[in-house]
Chains A and B, each alone.
Chain A
Amino acid sequence: MSGPNTQYDPVEVAALDPAAVEQAVTDALAAIAAADSLEALKAARLAHQGEKSPLALANREIGALPPSAKAEAGKRVGQARGRVGQALAGRQVELEAERDARILVEETVDLTVRTPRRPLGARHPISLVSERIEDIFVAMGWEIAEGPEVESEWLNFDALNLSPDHPARGEADTFFVAPAGSGLVLRTHTSPVQVRTMLDREPPIYILCPGKVFRTDDLDATHTPVFHQFEGLVVDEGITMAHLKGALDAFVQRLFGDGIVTRLRPNYFPFTEPSAEIDCQCWVCGGADASCRTCGGTGWIELGGCGMVNQRVLRAAGVDPQRYSGFAFGLGIERSLMLRHGVGDMHDIVEGDVRFSRQFGMEI
């Protein structure tokens, strides 16, 4: 049964009866609605839209109708097929959505299971604090200068106006490199880097000298024989103690918080004259808490020493004190770390336990 039969031209065909067409549509819609899976819908599609479906058969009969009846029958069947097709498409979308949702649910994994296949390591907080301090001064236009840790006695002491009889030059404070009389020590401060810089180039000099230094202290909760400090040196025309105070204030504000200022107290160091002790306002209590653990209730925290570079030091380093003046300061990095981050015991800083570094992450 293919193609219209022109020999046989009935006026009426049962399949095209409006009631029959309507019944076919009703059956199709019921089957489509009942399809609860894409497979069931596929079967319904075959049964109600396939070549052998009632509506397909009806459609084929149209060609046998007389021309006068063709239009009406064609319209009726076409509408019926359209309704079935629409229902199929709608149901298809619904079932696909259901399937997709089900698959996503099935694909759920438990992401609360931690999978540390390659855990991040960590920087040492001493390095992080040091770099942070370096960045503060670099941002002010200073440079970072470094030098050797095994250093000559002259650069470590004499050049800094520490004469051979200075108590700090004894074996009780300083590590000496063998053989005795080698003229070499483990540097006791990073000041020799300042001297090297002054010997190497003309002012203006604005440098920060961070690094490892050595003193013959025993390791305890607050001391370590190997520690880190940063020293600043500025040598330029017209440098004053007010500039020293300005640099220190700027530094503590950037490291410890806005509004924090320093206080200078007269003191004595061979390498500076005038000399001062640097106190920093307590950034925890601001001096308002008599039981503050950070400052001991005094409102001030002792940070280090500073002063105007002794003219003897300038001369030893080949700088003309008539033309230039300068200031210098020195602070401990361990102390800064302990104060800023509440580290209670020096052992944790030096022993290398990975738990210590890990807690600080990569930025401090």
Chain B
Amino acid sequence: MHAPVSWLRELADVPADATGADIAAALVKVGLEEEGLSGGDISGPIVVGRVLTVEPEPQKNGKTVNWCTVDVGDHGQRVTEGKAQEIVCGAHNFSAGDLVVCVLPGGVLPGGFEISARKTYGHVSNGMICSARELGLGDDHDGIILLTELLGADAAASLQPGDDAIALLGLADEVVEVNVTPDRGYCFSLRGIAREYALSTGAAYRDPADLRVAEGDGTGYPVHLTDDAPVEGVVGCDRYVARVVRGVDVGAATPQWMRKRLTQVGMRPISLAVDVTNYVMMLLGQPLHAFDLQTLSGAVGTRRARVGEKLTTLDDVARALDPEDLLIVDGSDTPLAIAGVMGGEASEVTSATTDVLIEAAHFDPISIARSSRRHRLVTEASKRFERGVDPAVAAAAAQLAVDLLVEHGGGTADPGATDVGEPRTPAAIAFDTALPTRYVGLDYPREEVLSTLRAIGCVVQDDAGDAGDAGDDVVTVQPPSWRPDLADGPDLVEEVARVRGYDQIPSVLPQPKDGHGLTHGQRVRRVIATTLAHQGLVEVLTYPFVARDLFDRLGYAPDDSRRRAEALVNPLSEEAPLMRTSVLDTLQDALRRNVARGHRDVAVYEVGLVTVGREDAAVAPVPGIEVRPDDATLDRIREAVPAQPRHVAMAAAGDASVAGPWGPARPYDASDAVAWVLTLGTALGLDLEVQAADRSPWHPGRCASISLPDGTVVGHAGELHPKVTAALDLPARSVAAEVDVDVLIAATGTPRQADELSTYPAAHTDVALVVDEQVPAGRVEAALRAGAGEGLESVHLFDVYRGEQVGDGRKSLAYRLTFRAPDRTLTTDEVSALRDAAVAAAAEQTGAVQR
């Protein structure tokens, strides 16, 4: 909302020396955010000039410019050269004798354009004759300003060449722009802004709605309010004021002061009837609509639209109406307007209009908001109705519009006025005067509380002595008609607090009694993230959106549960409408982007949520505001939310260690991915187990599942399937892992009990076992452990041999077994027995033969 300072001064006693910045600061203090400050960047000499001579000079380019001399009084060339100002002008709407506005060299126009004498079309032009746009007075750039037209012959008659045009036209007027929060609809008017300024500074305020209004007397234009389908039980229109002005000269010029103000608040002057309705809206916040009375047949009224009904609105769009749209219709039931949003073309005021019906109504904010959103049509009117218009101002607004039309358009107002409907007034609030002190933590004396509430327009019924049940000092507060947002105690607390100033609120650190620190799960996540970073992986954060065909590219089987993904109704991009079911789904994007950016050797990871698609699409109830739903409804709400376990995914491509003076490169391979996951287990004190696995998107021969000792699968790791790397455009041999963090969290958390450390010597013995190529080393190791039992401290695979000595399709695994007893030194015989037991188990479970 724009507030021209000169306009504001008419409504509030702004100190003479207050600048736009001072006014903005005062408004910010009470809660209006400053959006900008314009104007004030114009400076003279900008003066009244009388054109003395005009010599048209045709140019080679086909244009004709005028070589003029202008009397600018005691300025410019009269002073320096003793002659009239010489100016080249491209406009043609003037002649010798006209009064114009000249900016002379040294003058600065809006936007900081400094004017100097310059050579143009073969002359030195000493300044410019200005158009309205050049002076920031509107969009008109077709010709220069003629002051006799602009100000009227009478006002122009008293002007002298050389008079200061900045003061004359108010060109230096500053305009403060503020952002209005949705609860303060009344601030979409000068009336509201001035009220806030007065509230902030204590300056006197004059209500522009305080004027003589023709009473609704039943003799005005007939209006009926009908609504057979109120939205959420609220009727669409609860007040409708209609006034008629006949014999208006709609072609009459809008007075300059009004055009200027409209321009300053960001509106384009159009025609008298439109300009008057806009001006009144800007002043009072009441949107008005002007109908051409002759296009109406019979009583005007409201009703909801019918299915299939259409209306061509003023913006020349034929709109299909929705049964929830509130319409203004005439006696023939023809739609005239989408109430509170935009009028229809057919009843528009045109150049042929002579009689005008002015509508000043109050509409249900929710009904208007829905229509505005439905038709994607945000207008100055809908913006205000949505946020709440003062229903009490309608009659004054209609009166002011009538007065202005009569004054400037020369019509006659019908004596009768229509005023129907019963607007709701905000409910009275029982208010404990001590609440501000209790709620804010700053002492607000009772007198201050009451005077603030009165200052914002509340009627306070001060039942002093009528202590409430708890001995509270409760007063009854009736909020003003323009504050539908004031509904309960805290709303009034905010008023009291903002008027004193939020800067007065002290700073007191709240002291919770105890805190439990991070949860086990939160600490585990930090360990996981840090452990991976320490292993050389770089954390990234990707968007969790994936393409519909991703699961095909990942090679998922048709019945893979990971294909069941939640979709978005309105995705960011139609290319990626699904929620990821694995973190790897989107981590691979980051891997590819890094490789594309030249990071050939790269390892990345991400910890994040994945969404498990719901099997049955249960709808989550939406029971509405302010009331706690019953337990059953709450359960249904929670249960409808899909499970979202936290995963960590890792991926790498290129070399794990690069070539250098220390030796050759070593590319990342599947074992790196397995090692990352096992290291996570080590970091969390978990003994994870590795089994060969076949799972997309991994290489079937280079994939491991990693599980807890009880068999619960923690995740998978390995090299990506060659088809997957090709389909995802990743480097061949890229490796990856995906782990369910929640499983790791659940598996930890109970304090691990320490093993007793034996200080007796360890005994080492080596065995070489020949097995079939297909037998995984992990199985052999597990068998060795099972066979040797407690006495086996560790198993280390130190060599794998394939060759003639072991035969085709066979491999020899060489293990170092370390034995140790808790209570004695093992004898050679004991060690041999343990080793034999281990080997026997391996033989039985894996077919291993000792070499």
Show the binding face of A for B, using Cβ within 8 Å.
Answer: 113, 115-124, 126-127, 131, 134, 138, 140-144, 146, 148-155, 157-159, 161-165, 167, 170-171, 175-184, 186, 199, 204, 206, 212, 216, 225-226, 234, 236, 238-243, 245-247, 249-250, 261, 263-268, 273-277, 308, 310-312, 315-318, 325, 349-355, 357-358, 362
In the complex, what distance in Å separates the CA atom of A353 from the CA atom of B539? Answer: 10
Q: Chain A residue with minimal CB distance to B608?
A: A212
A-B residue pairs in contact (CB < 8 Å), sample of 6: A150-B644, A175-B571, A176-B570, A180-B569, A274-B490, A315-B627
Residues of B within 8 A of A140 (CB): 509, 512, 515
Q: Name the interface residues of B1-42: CB closer than 8 Å to any CB of A.
A: 28-31, 33
User: Chain A residues near B625 (CB, 8 Å)?
Assistant: 158-159, 161-163, 312, 316
Q: Give the complex CA separation of A113 and B660 in angstroms.
A: 9
CB interface residues, B 626-663, toward A, < 8 Å: 626-629, 634, 637-638, 640-642, 644, 656-658, 660-662
Closest 8 CB pairs of A and B: A266-B31, A242-B441, A240-B441, A183-B620, A352-B590, A274-B494, A268-B181, A352-B540
- Asked whether any CB of chain A lies closer than 8 Å to the CB of B377, the reply is no
Give every chain B residue within 8 A of A350 (Cβ-Cβ). 541-543
- Cross-chain contact B641 with A151 (CB below 8 angstroms): yes
Query: B710 at interface (Cβ–Cβ under 8 A)?
Result: no
- Please determine whether B515 and A184 come into contact, CB atoms closer than 8 angstroms: no
A117–B538 contact, CB under 8 A? no
User: Which of B509, B534, B590 is most buried by chain A, counting CB atoms within 10 A of its CB?
Assistant: B509
Contact B543 A183 (CB under 8 A): no
Give the residues in chain A near B544, CB-CB below 8 Å. Answer: 149, 226
Pick from B510, B566, B569: contact of A246, CB below 8 A: B510
Report yes or no: A273 in contact with B490, Cβ–Cβ below 8 A: yes
Chain B residues contacting A134 (CB-CB under 8 Å) are 518, 522
Are A122 and B538 neighbours in the complex by a CB distance under 8 Å?
A: yes
**A239, B541: Cα distance in complex, Å:** 37
Instruction: Provide the bound-state CA to CA distance between A64 and B299, in Å.
Output: 160
Q: How far is the CA of A131 from the CA of B656 in the complex (A)?
A: 29
CB distance from A313 to the nearest CB of B (A): 8
Quote the shortest CB–CB distance from B489 to chain A (angstroms): 8
- B30 neighbours in A (Cβ, 8 Å): 266
B678 → chain A closest CB, angstroms: 16
Determine the distance from Cα of A334 to Cα of B488 in the docked complex, in whole angstroms.
36
**Are the C-beta atoms of A266 and B589 separated by less than 8 Å?**
no
Min C-beta distance of A233 to chain B, whole Å: 11
The reply to whether B530 and A362 contact each other, CB–CB distance below 8 Å, is yes
Q: Is B233 in the interface zone, CB < 8 Å from A?
A: no
Instruction: Identify which of A183, A234, A264 contacts B502 (C-beta below 8 A).
Output: A264
Cα distance A179–B617 in the bound complex, in angstroms: 8
**Identity of the chain A residue whose Cβ is nearest the Cβ of B567 in the assembled complex:** A178
Do the beta carbons of A236 and B510 come within 8 Å of each other?
yes
- Judged by a CB distance under 8 angstroms, whether B65 is at the interface is no
Known contacts A158-B625, A247-B509; is A242 also within 8 Å of B442 by CB?
A: yes
Chain A positions within 8 Å of B662 at CB level: 115, 117
Chain B residues with CB under 8 Å of chain A are 28-31, 33, 181-184, 366, 369-370, 373, 438-442, 488-491, 493-494, 497-498, 502-503, 505-519, 522, 526, 529-530, 532-544, 566-572, 579, 589-590, 593-594, 597, 599, 602-605, 607-609, 611, 617, 619-629, 634, 637-638, 640-642, 644, 656-658, 660-662
Contact B579 A150 (CB under 8 A): yes
What separation, in Å, do the CA atoms of A318 and B628 have in the docked complex?
Answer: 6
Most buried by A among B184, B508, B511, B541: B541
- Contact between A177 and B533, CB atoms less than 8 A apart: no
**Which residues on A sit within 8 Å (CB–CB) of B570?**
171, 175-176, 216
State whether B373 touches A158 (Cβ < 8 A). Answer: no
Check if A141 sits within 8 Å of B511, measured CB to CB: yes
**Quick check: B539 and A357 within 8 Å, CB to CB?**
yes
Chain B residues with CB under 8 A of A242: 440-442, 505-508
From residue A357, how far is it (CB to closest CB) to chain B in Å?
A: 5
Q: Cα distance A279–B670 when bound, in Å?
A: 51
- A318-B633 Cα distance, complex, nearest whole Å: 14
| Contact (Cβ within 8 A) B593 A351 | yes
Interface pair B641/A267, CB less than 8 Å apart: no
Task: Please state if B369 and A246 are interface contacts (CB–CB under 8 Å).
Answer: no
Report the minimal beta-carbon distance from B18 to chain A, rounded to whole angstroms: 20
- Give complex CA distance A199, B627 in Å: 12
Q: Does A127 contact B529, Cβ atoms closer than 8 Å?
A: yes
**Residue of A175, A181, A362 with highest tally of chain B CB at under 10 A:** A175
Q: Which residues of A contact B181 (CB under 8 A)?
A: 267-268
Looking at A178, A204, A226, which has the most chain B CB atoms within 10 Å of its CB?
A178
Distance in angstroms between the alpha carbons of A113 and B648 in the assembled complex:
35
Closest Cβ–Cβ distance, residue A298 to chain B (whole Å): 10
Is there contact, CB below 8 Å, between A143 and B536?
A: no
Flag if B509 contacts A154 (CB, 8 Å).
no
Q: Chain A nearest CB: distance from B733 CB in Å?
A: 19
- Additional pairs, 11, CB under 8 Å, beyond known A178-B567, A226-B544, A353-B599: A121-B605, A144-B522, A150-B579, A161-B625, A167-B373, A182-B640, A199-B628, A245-B506, A246-B509, A273-B494, A354-B604
Across the interface, which residues of A come within 8 angstroms of B518, CB to CB?
Answer: 134, 138, 144
CB contacts (< 8 Å) of A225 on chain B: these are 543, 572
Q: How far is the CB of A238 from chain B (nearest CB, A)?
A: 8
Assembled-state Cα–Cα distance A119/B620 (Å): 48
Q: A121-B539, A183-B619, A243-B510 are in contact. Are A266 and B498 (CB under 8 A)?
A: yes
B538 and A121 form a contact (CB under 8 A): yes
B243 CB to nearest chain A CB (Å): 31
For A150, the chain B residues whose CB sits under 8 A away are 566, 579, 611, 641-642, 644
Q: Which residues of A contact B656 (CB under 8 A)?
A: 118
* Cα distance, A5 to B533, chains bound together (Å): 85
Most buried by B among A131, A143, A265, A352: A352
| Contact indicator B629/A352 (Cβ below 8 Å) | no
A323 to B440, CA, bound (A): 16
A165-B370, A177-B568, A242-B505 known; A124-B628 Cβ under 8 A: no
A206 touches B590 (CB 8 A): no
The residue on B at minimum CB distance from A137 is B515
Q: Chain B residues with Cβ under 8 A from A243's Cβ?
A: 441, 508-510
A164 to B489, CA, bound (A): 24
Q: Which residues of B contact A245 (CB under 8 A)?
A: 505-508
Residue among A120, A274, A315, A355 with the highest chain B CB neighbour number at 10 A: A274
Contact in complex: B658, A116 (CB < 8 Å): yes
- Assess the A152–B33 pair: CB atoms within 8 A: no
A123 touches B619 (CB 8 A): no
Residues in A neighbouring B183, C-beta threshold 8 A: 268
Q: Given A138-B517, A354-B602: A123 and B529 within 8 A (CB)?
A: yes
Given contacts A118-B657, A150-B644, A152-B641, contact A261 B507 (CB under 8 A): yes
Residue of B nearest to A351 (CB): B593
> Is B515 a contact partner of A141 (Cβ separation < 8 A)?
yes
Closest Cβ–Cβ distance, residue B378 to chain A (whole Å):
10
Please report the C-alpha to C-alpha distance between residue A177 and residue B578 in the assembled complex, in whole angstroms: 9
Shortest distance from the beta carbon of B610 to any chain A beta carbon, whole Å: 10
- The smallest beta-carbon distance between A317 and chain B, in angstroms, is 7
CA A317 – CA B634 in complex, angstroms? 10
Quick check: A117 and B569 within 8 Å, CB to CB?
Answer: no
- The docked-state distance in angstroms from the alpha carbon of A226 to that of B570 is 14
In the bound complex, residues from chain A placing their C-beta under 8 Å from that of B508 are 240, 242-243, 245-246
Q: Is the CB of B620 within 8 A of A154?
A: yes
Distance between Cα atoms of A263 and B624 in the complex (Å): 34
Neighbouring A residues of B597 by C-beta, 8 Å = 353
- Tell me, in angstroms, the Cα distance from A39 to B607 when the chains sit together: 66
Which chain A positions have C-beta within 8 A of B619?
A: 181-183
User: Complex formed: what's the CA distance from A261 to B502 in Å?
Assistant: 14
Interchain nearest-CB distance for A221 vs B (Å)? 17
Please tell me if the beta carbons of A239 and B497 are within 8 angstroms of each other in the complex.
no
Tell me if B532 and A234 are in contact (CB < 8 A): no
Chain B residues lying within 8 Å of A276, measured Cβ to Cβ, are 502
Query: Which partner residue on chain A sits nearest B666 by CB separation?
Result: A117
How far is it, in angstroms, between the C-alpha of A140 and the C-alpha of B29 when the chains are bound? 31
Closest-CB distance, A361 to chain B (whole angstroms): 9
